[in-house]
A and B are shown apart, each in its own frame.
Chain A
Amino acid sequence: MCLIVLFVTFEFLLKRKDLYGTAFAEVCDVMDEDIAEYALKVASRLGAGYADVRLESKEINDIVLKNGIVDVASHILKEGIGIRIITRQGVGFSSTNVLDRDHVKQTVTEAFRQAEACKRKAPPELSEEKTVKATWSVPERVRLSNVGLEQKLDDLCSVDETIVSVGNIPARIFLFADKQTKKLYLNSEGTRIQGYLPIVICMFFLTVKCGSQVEQTARRFGYAGGWEGFEQFKMAEDAEQEVTMLQTLMKEGKKSPRGTMDLLVGSDMVGIVCHESCGHPSEADRILGREASQAGVSFMNEELLGTRVGSEEVTVAEDPTLEHSFGYYAYDDEGVKARRRLLFKDGLINEFLHNRETAARMGENSNAAARSASYDREAIVRMANTFLLPGDCSTEELVEDIKRGVYMKSYTEWNIDDKRYNQKYIGRESYLIEHGEIKHMVKRPVLEVTTPAFWKAVDARGKEVDFRAGNCGKGDPIQEMEVLYGGPTVRLRAIPMR
């Protein structure tokens, strides 16, 4: 499930190349490798067949600005260690935030005891992966540690002041967070990886009034890197456009047409469809039933690999290595090197997302999809940056031969069933298309279709890709994960609308 969805435009993500990994020593103190190595030694002495250790230090700064008032500012340092142990009996996990030897020993012992308590019929297996020694970091042009609260507040408050002048906005919330995460990953196979990930997050939620009508909008912005990310968000401009658009919608929006018609879907919505209707059903842990009780299952299975789910226009990539992307990582939380995955390729189901456990069960290698939100959560199969590859059409070309249709540029309510087959999207910014031209705004068009019906109807793609930042929820306890999704504007033929 995706909890909150907001917006960011990062065209440059697909083009830029920075020198990743070179700045590590400058920004990241060497973490206490001794305590992590000690944890591994204790695990070995206990007789663990496999152990991995994640030592993490996360500095988090938050601001809540509500209706022009700073509700609260916070500064949190979250440090701790998580240990996973695998024995013939099962998998155990334990964590602590007390980083002395006594507590770490106790925590490892507890993880071992938990593994033994699983009493599995067959021993758990992990896929065989290369042993790695590496460091990585995301460069910051303006280091987050050099930007004070005062500047962050000034920048955020100026966004609020800008949009207040635009219209009647009785309720406004702006949230800001930056996180600087240092990670040390060790496993009993010899892998040693240190990483540094700085991220900047903003979101707004606005209630806009026009006469007796009320509309709401929410967006999220996310960037891996330094304070320069905030400047690239252009949040004031974006919020102002949203308010103006909603005012126009309330004043001039007409009833949306019903019936079967062509549909133009904006990047905003293409992204969430990629996330919900390609990314999630491609998660191998769902396919194998491990998430069945909470985040759900998948309509896909191993037998469907290579079968058609969409038109030939549909290739969906999942790529953690997009530089400065919100879902960026160089190595996953099992120490596997990140790479691009093509989940759907030319309309065929091509590849699932794996961690080492699911890969072993399907006789594959991990494709580095193991992610954990914190040292105290197990690493499970997650998305990173999910997007439809672009085509070569301009928006004008996509529109020109639509006789009558709807352009859903953005969406409000959305959801999808837990097998990821039946989804619903309601348009926020939407327009009528007639005789190849975009006409007036229409109110809340409803798209309620199955996953194959959506993907099979795609007949053309725009050439420009936009991305949104999102916050994806999965796991139990819930792990909210930074992700990005996007794609070009696409055209769908003969779609039932209401």
Chain B
Amino acid sequence: MTMIELTNQVVEKALDLGATDVIARSVSSKDQQLRFSNNEIDIAKTWNESVIHVFLAQKKRIVVTEIRNFNKIDESLETLMKLTKVTKENLEYAGIAQGPFQYTEVKSDPHLKNLVDVSDLVTAAVNKALEKAASAAGILFLTNKDAVTSTSGGIEAEDEITSIELSIRAFSQKEASGHSVSCSPTLKGFEPEKAGEEAGELSKLAENPVRGDEGVFDIVFSPLFFGSILSYSMEMASAFMVSAGRSMYVGNLGQKVAAESVTVTDTPSGLIQACFDEEGVPTKETPVIENGVLTTYLHNTSTAAQAQTETTANAGIIVPRALNAHLKPGTYAKDELFQEVKDGLYLTNTWYTRFQNMQAGDFSTIPRDAILKIENGEIVGSLKDIRVSDNMLDLYQSIEGVSKEQELVHWWIEVETPCTASHVLAREVRITCSAK
């Protein structure tokens, strides 16, 4: 039986059992990963998994499950229907998308689908890094998923998603590192050597770091760093997060939340090139921040209906989420951004971003890897042990320049939403340090 036949069977069976809305979404994965450190591969992994995710509503009673044993579909659905009898009504629930829809062509890359041995790609990246660095660590991840969705809203849709990404951190000294990524939905766009080279070069620039100073500085953020800020921001643009209070965008719709040079769009043209969301709605470009103004939250059909608007095709059936974030490129060349800085910093990566208060946007994050001092537009030294302690809304407001050159970045949980980001210049950002 094909996956579309299986998901159709799930929908029909659930309707027979009394469900009023049903979404059956199968994901079959053949993913690969290589993890490496100290210039050697530590472990090579593959996953061969098939799961049917089931969303089921009986009027306003909402339940979900995942079916992994396809011999037990009926049993799983019967168990799920029993839950609808005892769960409470979700009075806010407003239904699922009604299709059918037309979709764009599947964008998967046959070269990635057929790629078997990826160890040479790692070796190439590591060797390039070692031209400037002493060691390198990282991962290479190859995604190969087939997604099929059937719904009681008349939707039958099939998609194939491929992507490849390398994340590499190179060390020239114990406390001198550089981090770079190469992410692409196609093998052709994948540049492991370039990422290795950049990580190695940054690690060289980061050599002999000295403790940074507290104060307020102009900062050039790399795409990897700013991608992290974008990723956290896009998570907070989800209508679910707004209603849960976990967002700095609460009450800010239509308000200025960033400098005019900032336009951020959710797009299907990034690392994850899905044709439809988890409800089967065709994905599309959705400007979230346009010229600094918050224009929409990210919605599925139900949250959109609650807000009396249209879905933005960002289901997550319970929690809408961004697909790929895209920062509109600016007018500056990267080097021109540096020229704008008399006394400041170039921050190339960050981690461990945490908020005091998600509604207020007060946060801190810890720059890691190359932290470079800028004087009169030139890099003049390497720093360590600093923290960005500021407000994220203020940070967006303080953006003065966005570079024309862009990179597609995605890294672990720090850039969880893939982002197409630029180098960004922000003025007067607060830096703190541990007490001496």
Inter-chain contacts of B92 with A (CB < 8 A): 69
The answer, among B49, B245, B413, B435, for a CB contact under 8 Å with A453, is B435
Q: Which of B35-43, B290-298, B323-331, B399-407 contacts A (4 or more CB under 8 A)?
A: B35-43
In this assembly, does B89 line the interface, its C-beta being within 8 Å of a C-beta of chain A?
A: yes
Determine if A103 and B48 form an interchain contact, defined as CB atoms under 8 angstroms apart.
yes
Determine the distance from Cα of A421 to Cα of B45 in the docked complex, in whole angstroms. Answer: 32
Cβ–Cβ contact A71 & B40, under 8 A: no
| Residue contact A92 to B45, C-beta cutoff 8 Å | yes
What's the least CB distance linking B31 to chain A, in Å? Answer: 9
Q: Which of B48, B169, B318, B433 contacts A107 (CB 8 A)?
A: B48
Asked, given contacts A70-B87, A205-B244, A292-B37, whether A80 binds B49 with beta carbons under 8 Å apart, the answer is yes
> With a CB–CB cut-off of 8 A, which chain B residues contact A419?
175
Which interface class (under 10, 10 to 19, 20 to 34, 35 or more) fits B?
A: 35 or more
**Chain B residue nearest to A90 in the complex (CB):** B41
Inter-chain CA distance A417–B357, complex, in Å, is 20
The one of A66, A92, A95 in contact with B49, judged by C-beta atoms closer than 8 angstroms, is: A95
Partner of B47, one of A117, A173, A376: A376
The winner among A77, A170, A206 for most chain B CB atoms within 10 A is A77
Contact B90 A293 (CB under 8 A): no
Residue from B91, B246, B364, B385 in contact with A413 in the complex, judged by beta carbons closer than 8 Å: B364
Partner of A72 from B64, B352, B366, B368 at Cβ < 8 Å = B64
Asked if A171 and B245 sit within 8 Å, CB to CB, the answer is: yes
Specify the chain A residue showing the minimal Cβ separation from B179.
A293
Contacts of A292 in B (CB 8 A): 37, 137, 169, 171
Task: Please report the C-alpha to C-alpha distance between residue A426 and residue B354 in the assembled complex, in whole angstroms.
Answer: 11
Q: Is B73 an interface residue (CB 8 A)?
A: no
Contact across chains for B49 and A413 when beta carbons are under 8 A apart: no
**With A94-B47, A98-B50: A121-B40 Cβ-Cβ less than 8 Å:** yes
Report whether A94 and B46 are in contact in the complex, using a CB–CB cutoff of 8 Å: yes
Q: What is the 8 Å Cβ interface bit string for chain A, positions 217-256, against chain B (1 contact, 0 not)?
A: 0000000000000000000000000000000000000000
A121 to B356, CA, bound (A): 47
Expressed in whole angstroms, the minimum distance between the Cβ of B228 and any Cβ of chain A is: 13
Q: How far is the CA of A171 from the CA of B35 in the complex (A)?
A: 41
Q: Are A216 and B359 in contact (CB under 8 A)?
A: yes
Q: With A and B bound together, what is the CA distance between A476 and B416 in angstroms?
A: 12
Task: Say whether A216 contacts B357, CB under 8 Å.
Answer: yes
Chain A residues near B137 (CB, 8 Å)? 289-293
Interface residues on A, range: 35 or more
**A151: nearest chain-B partner, CB-CB:** B86
What is the CA–CA distance of A76 and B358 in the complex, to the nearest angstrom? 31
Interface residues of B in 218-267 (CB under 8 A from A): 240, 243-246, 250
Decide if A289 touches B119 in the complex (CB within 8 Å): no
- Are B432 and A448 within 8 A (Cβ)? yes
Which one of A94, A98, A444, A450 contacts B356 once the chains associate, using CB atoms below 8 Å? A444
Q: Does A304 contact B (CB under 8 A)?
A: no
Q: Contact between B135 and A424 (Cβ–Cβ < 8 Å)?
A: no
B44 within 8 A of A: yes
Q: Is A363 an interface residue (CB 8 A)?
A: no
- The distance in angstroms between the C-alpha atoms of A424 and B434, with both chains bound, is 8
B65 contacts the other chain (CB 8 A): yes
State the CA gap A77–B412 with chains docked (Å). 26
Which residues of A lie under 8 Å from residue B65 when comparing CB positions? 74-76
Contact A70 B90 (CB under 8 A): yes
- For residue B167, CB closer than 8 A to chain A, the reply is yes
Residues from 167 to 188 in A contacting B, C-beta threshold 8 Å: 170-173
Q: Which residues 125-182 in B have Cβ within 8 Å of A in the complex? A: 135, 137-139, 167-169, 171, 175, 179
How far apart are B154's CB and chain A's nearest CB, in angstroms? 23
From A73, A95, A453, contact of B83 by CB (8 A): A73
The answer to whether A448 and B387 touch across the interface, beta carbons within 8 angstroms, is yes
Please, which residues of chain B bring their CB within 8 A of the CB of A449?
434-435
Write the nearest CB–CB distance from B305 to chain A, whole angstroms.
Answer: 15
Partner of B48, one of A110, A207, A426: A110
B347 contact set on A, CB distance < 8 A:
none
Question: Nearest CB to that of A154 among chain B residues?
Answer: B88
Please, which residues of chain A bring their CB within 8 A of the CB of B42?
90-91, 118, 290
Q: How far is the CB of B255 from chain A (nearest CB, A)?
A: 16
Given the interface pairs A70-B89, A378-B43, the reply to whether A422 lies near B433 with Cβ below 8 Å is yes
Contact A296 B88 (CB under 8 A): no
24-41 of chain B: CB within 8 A of chain A: 32-35, 37-38, 40-41
Which of B243, B356, B387 has most chain A Cβ within 10 Å?
B356
CB distance from A112 to the nearest CB of B (A): 10
A30 at the binding interface (Cβ < 8 Å): no
Cβ of A310 to closest chain B Cβ, rounded Å: 16
Cα of A173 to Cα of B51 in the assembled complex, Å: 28
Does A140 touch B at the CB level, under 8 Å? no
Q: Is A143 an interface residue (CB 8 A)?
A: no
Measured CB to CB, the closest approach of chain A to B406, in angstroms, equals: 23
Q: Which residue of B lies closest to A66 (CB)?
A: B244
> A205 CA to B240 CA in the complex, in Å?
13
In the complex, A437 has a CB within 8 A of chain B: no
Write the chain A residue with the least CB distance to B367: A417
B389 at interface by CB-CB < 8 Å = yes
Question: How long is the Cα–Cα vector from A422 to B119 in the complex, in angstroms?
Answer: 35
Contacts of A127 in B (CB 8 A): none
What residue in chain A is nearest B139 (Cβ atoms)?
Answer: A476
Residue of B40, B135, B435 with highest tally of chain A CB at under 10 A? B435
Which residue of A is nearest B92, CB measured? A69
Chain A, residue nearest B242 (CB): A171
B62 CB–A CB distance under 8 Å: yes
A157 contacts the other chain (Cβ, under 8 Å)? Answer: yes
Q: Is A96 an interface residue when CB atoms closer than 8 A count as contact?
A: yes
| B208 at the A interface (CB under 8 A) | no
Neighbour of B368 across the interface among A121, A206, A417, A473, CB < 8 A:
A417
New A-B pairs, 19, CB < 8 Å, besides A72-B64, A417-B385 = A69-B90, A73-B83, A77-B68, A92-B45, A107-B48, A117-B44, A118-B42, A149-B87, A293-B37, A293-B167, A293-B179, A296-B351, A296-B368, A376-B49, A378-B43, A413-B354, A413-B355, A415-B352, A417-B366
B→A interface (CB under 8 Å)? 32-35, 37-38, 40-51, 62-66, 68-69, 76, 79-80, 83, 86-92, 117, 119, 135, 137-139, 167-169, 171, 175, 179, 240, 243-246, 250, 318, 351-360, 362-366, 368, 385, 387, 389, 412-413, 432-435
A-B contact pairs, 29 of them (CB 8 A): A66-B243, A71-B90, A72-B64, A77-B76, A90-B41, A90-B44, A91-B44, A94-B47, A94-B48, A96-B47, A106-B48, A110-B46, A110-B48, A114-B43, A114-B46, A117-B117, A171-B243, A207-B359, A216-B359, A289-B137, A293-B179, A378-B45, A413-B354, A417-B368, A422-B385, A422-B433, A422-B434, A448-B434, A476-B412
